[in-house]
Structure 1
Amino acid sequence: MGEREEFVETLDKHRDLLRRTVRDLTDEQAARRTTVSELCLGGLIKHVAAVEARWARFIVGGAEAMRSGGGDWAAQFRMTEGETLADLLDAYGEVARDTDELVRSLPDLDLAHPLPPAPWFEQGASWSARRVLLHVIAETAQHAGHADIIREALDGAKSMG
């Protein structure tokens, strides 16, 4: 297996853990906050999909492309009126398919762009597509862990235990 397929396989493993966390939930359960955090399970699905899509745009077009598709940052972490868990999962699946295709078709994983200015990024740093993919894997894994805690607080179910 080559490097690109390893990226896709690893990312999909963590996506699956996150998706498994919301199995058999109603929309009401997916929207419920179970901790002092603002996070809910549906919001985490929405957030991770948005972050993955944003970083995929960065890989292709740099920091400027990352800015498109913005909106209300706080709304990424909760389900808003009219959103369903099924729709959020479908949108996440579409983002995942697009990212996987991007990984497989990129001419060079060393292609790099300067990061956008932000206090959490090293000033003047650039990230390669490879580095971005590692970041997306870490972000997805971290949020899958958050989701597991929220789900356990919701009904005792554990996706990782």
Structure 2
Amino acid sequence: MISRDLKADLRHYLGEARKALVWKLDGTTEYDARRPLTPTGTNLLGLVKHAAGVEAGYFGETFGRPFPEPMPWMEQDAEPNADMWATADERREDIIALYRRVWAHADATIEALGLDAIGEVPWWPEQSRAVPLHRVLVHVIAETHRHAGHADIVRELVDGSAGLGAVRSNLPDADRAWWIGYRDRLEETAGRFRSS
């Protein structure tokens, strides 16, 4: 039997990823929250919308506890990547509030079930659909942290803001001049390999 301490650890890391992802929207303009900054369209608000859909599915449908609100962007017949951006009619506040409601729903599922409880992920290959809550938690933690990393880079491209959060950045405590020198040194080193 898996201990409750392990469940608490997993919930902690999921919570940290959630908070980091949402924090990346703080202080951005509506334009900067939505604008695509990579060739594949990665944007801050879309990452939050996607994460809401992911958690609703994994901690809802997978365990027979469907999230009660419709998410048409997650339906089988939705436009490709509909979950990765916010339409003009979708407000930032509504997407963040939705994500927080999904958190509550997911947390209730996690609390109600043992880590060895088996669910079925209908969008996974048939031979690997039956999975314990423990594996789903690890999968969603990894995915959420991955998207929080995407958000970190996108936010840095928007206005230079970087780090884990407002209180603890997890970056060296250095001024702008140090960072410029550091980046220049990396560029100089990389430049030595430009022709290879």
Once residues 114 and 20 of structure 1 are traced to their aligned partners in structure 2, the CA distance between those partners, rounded to angstroms, is 31
- The letter for the 1-side match of 2:115 is L
Shift of 1:56: 0.8
Structure 1 residue 132 and structure 2 residue 136: aligned? yes
The yes-or-no answer on 1:99 pairing with 2:106 is yes
Aligned length in residues: 154
Structure 1's unaligned 5+ residue stretches are none
2:163 maps to a residue whose letter is: S
Question: Matches of 1:136 and 1:113 in 2, distance apart?
Answer: 14
Comparing both chains, which one has the higher relative contact order based on Cα–Cα distances under 8 Å and sequence gaps of 6 or more?
Answer: 1
Alpha-carbon distance in 2 for matches of 1:30, 1:144 = 14
Pick the aligned partner of 2:41 from 35, 38, 42. Answer: 38
In terms of mean alpha carbon deviation, does 70-79 or 24-33 score higher? 70-79
Determine whether 1:2 maps to 2:9: no
- 1:116 correspondence with 2:122: yes
Distance 1:59 1:117, change over 3 A: closer
TM-score using structure 2 length: 0.71
Amino acid at match of 2:148: A
SS in 1 for 2:37: coil
Aligned CA-pair RMSD: 2.2
Aligned residue number for residue 150 of structure 2: 146
1:103-138 Cα shifts (integer Å, max 9, x gaps)? 1111x22122444365xx5x5122111100110100
CA contact (8 A) 1:27 1:84 kept: no
Shift in Å, 1:147: 0.6
Question: Which residue of 82, 91, 102 maps to 1:75?
Answer: 82
Unmatched 5+ stretches in structure 2: 165-170, 172-196
State the identity %.
Answer: 31
Q: Does residue 63 of structure 2 align to residue 57 of structure 1?
A: no
Deviation for aligned residue 1:59: 3.6
What secondary structure, in the 3-state scheme, does the structure 2 residue paired with 1:138 have?
helix
Structure 2 match to 1:84: 91
Asked if 1 retains the 8 angstrom alpha-carbon contact of 2:60 and 2:109, the reply is no
Query: Is the helix fraction higher in 1 or 2?
Result: 1
The 5-angstrom pairing of residues 8-27 of structure 1 reads: 8-27=11-30
Query: 1:52, 1:136 within 8 Å by CA — same for their partners in 2?
Result: yes
Matched with 2:180 is: none
